[in-house]
Amino acid sequence: MVVDDHPMWRDAVARDLAESGFDVVATAGDGDQAVRRARATGPDVLVLDLNLPGKPGVQVCKEVVGADPKLRVLVLSASGEHADVLEAVKSGATGYLLKSASTEELQDAVRRTALGDPVFTPGLAGLVLGEYRRLASEPAPAAESGGPGAPRLTDRETEVLRLVAKGLSYKQIAERLVISHRTVQNHVQNTLGKLQLHNRVELVRYAIERGLDDE
């Protein structure tokens, strides 16, 4: 699903994605329409502009991911401001691409986003990982698991979690552990379920809080 308030841009992105084999199930031009149509059509990936009338993109992201944690959000924005990038990630976005990206870069980003990989315009990935670390230094909510009754992860789940915390993509983790991309995804989903977390941001925070990124 493609969400942007500029009709020509929105139609062009939707057309390019459709022509390259993606099934574009819906488009929307404002925030409220985006939330309604995302809930009605259940897309796998939402390509989302941040600057929307009615309801800003970060709020759209929070609402659609809150309603369906499996939904991946790839922000496609003209803004490379660090505050915008971090706010989008905190709202549940999986990736962030600037509108200066080529059609091929967008297509690749959508494919990788669908697989669960974090996709960022070069230069922004380090910023986001740094923010993960800053968040991890703050006190965790009391409801987070971590006491004696915390769920037990398997050795492989812990290994995958450690690599996620180091900022590796699912593809890189698969190559390092000599397992399939799908197996990495399954381990991450199982870990999210056991820890009652909702997305990669929360998972990385959990791992860094426990020092897994330094091991």
**Residues 89-106 pLDDT 10s:** 888 898 899 999 899 999
Class of 2-133 in CATH: alpha beta
Closest CA to 23 of 42, 46, 1, 49: 1
Lowest mean per-residue pLDDT among 45-59, 82-96, 108-122, 201-215: 201-215
- Residues 45-91 have pLDDT tens digits of 999 999 999 899 999 999 998 888 889 999 999 887 888 888 888 88
**pLDDT value at 143 more than 50:** no
Residues 206-214 have a mean pLDDT of: 77
The arithmetic mean of pLDDT across residues 195-206, rounded, is: 79
**Residue 132's pLDDT band (cuts 50, 70, 90):** low
pLDDT of 145 > 70? The answer is no
Which range among 56-65, 98-107, 141-150, 191-200 shows the weakest confidence by mean pLDDT?
141-150
How is residue 8 written in tokens?
Answer: 């020509």
The pLDDT of residue 142 is 41
**Average pLDDT over the chain, rounded to whole?**
85
Q: Is the pLDDT of residue 177 over 60?
A: yes
Classify domain 155-210 at the CATH class level: mainly alpha
Choice among 60-69, 131-140, 180-189 with the minimum mean pLDDT: 131-140
Return the pLDDT at 138: 60
The per-residue pLDDT for 148 is 46
Q: Output the pTM of the full model.
A: 0.67
Please report, for the chain, the start and end positions of each structural domain, with discontinuous segments joined by +.
2-133, 155-210
Q: How far apart are CA 55 and CA 114, in angstroms?
A: 24
Q: What is the pLDDT of residue 121?
A: 81
Mean pLDDT to the nearest integer, 171-178 = 89
